[in-house]
Structure 1
Amino acid sequence: MGLPLMMMLGLGPTVARLKLRRCEAVGATPTVWGRVWIHGGGEIQIGDRVVFDARMAPIELHAQRGGRIVIEDDVTIEGGSSIEAQSLVSLGARSRLGMWCKLMDNMYHPVRGNRHERPQSVPLLVEEGVTVGSRSILLPGAHLQKGASVASGTVISRRIPPGVTVGGSPARVLRREVAR
């Protein structure tokens, strides 16, 4: 059965719920195009009207035991994106992740010292209305405040103020929203 036929028959949300069945909670009318891989023993919460557009490449949600992924209402996640949580990764309402984005709250090995010890996880927070460009990487401790925008290919590991557009690696301010 093709995608247009499923939509005409009203099966879209039913199929989406089936694909998201390993999530702790799924809100009203989710949309899933393509594959969403859900791994780990942690908790994944999906809000209302969330869109997973994985037609080009699968989307991965991996919440390890004790970890949480929270995706609020009206979020869009495009194909190839991967979200990994050992403590908390939160995507605010009306946020958008471009293709091939990587979000993780742990680096899995320290930069200095014993590389066999896993470092402490630091929550990764994306507030409402944030746009993250394709192939961007959000590292532990990243906090994108309301309305921030991230250019494609940017690496972020710190707080980004509201209404600011950042780009590059390391991230630098490209544009500030003008107050009216």
Structure 2
Amino acid sequence: MTLSLPLTQELDTLISRLKLRRCRMVGASPTVLGRVWIHGEGEVCVGTRVVLDGRIAPIELHAQRGGRIVLEDEVTIEGGTSIEAQECVTVGARSRLGSWCKVMDNHYHPLRGNRHERPSSVPLLIEESVKVGSRAILLPGTHLQKGASVAPGTVVSRRIPADTAVGGWPARMIRREVVG
């Protein structure tokens, strides 16, 4: 017995919605491939046509109490990526996070002084149409403006201007796109 294409798509959407049941809001036509681990007492909001591809490794979305993770429309996140929010992490429309990325809005302990004292969180914003390469690390206070590109393995902790490509540790400008 073969299922018709629309029925198969509806079944895939239903399974994806089941995997996203811990989210506060889920837009139309989500796609979840493989495993996604959603935990914490905060909010996770998923937009329309978001793709979470956890086939190679699970994707972690961890919003702690009072924290919020927002994945806007048509975002793609690849396997092994972890997003942690104490306050707010926003991934803009049509952005893509490569595999094994780490995105967090809090360091969880200071580098100097009392290591048991938790520092305050700094919201992390990824605007629309941003591409983040695999194994990149986005630290608290990162602001990737529209069309920015982050090379694989790059560590970012500041604002990256629109249509700029960065790479290295710490992030340095590779090129500036000419829009016109």
TM-score where L is the length of structure 2: 0.95
Look up the match of 1:99: 99
Look up the match of 2:155: 155
- 1:79–1:100 contact (8 Å) kept in structure 2: yes
Change (3 A) 1:116 1:133: same
Identity of aligned residues (%): 72
| Residue 31 of structure 2 is aligned to residue 31 of structure 1 | yes
Distance in 2, matches of 1:123 and 1:92, equals 14
Look up the match of 1:68: 68
1:1-180 matches, cutoff 5 A: 8=8, 10-180=10-180
Distance in 2, matches of 1:9 and 1:140, equals 38
Distance in 1, matches of 2:101 and 2:76, equals 12
Q: Cα RMSD over matched residues?
A: 1.3
Deviations 1:23-60 (A, max 9, x none): 00000000000000001000000000000011100000
State the 1:175 CA deviation: 0.6
Distance in 2, matches of 1:23 and 1:34, equals 17
How many residues end up aligned between the 2 structures? 176
Deviations 1:117-168 (A, max 9, x none): 0000000000000000000000000000000000000000000000000000
Distance in 1, matches of 2:9 and 2:45, equals 27
State the 1:112 CA deviation: 1.2
State the 1:9 CA deviation: 5.9
State the 1:179 CA deviation: 3.6
Change (3 A) 1:33 1:112: same
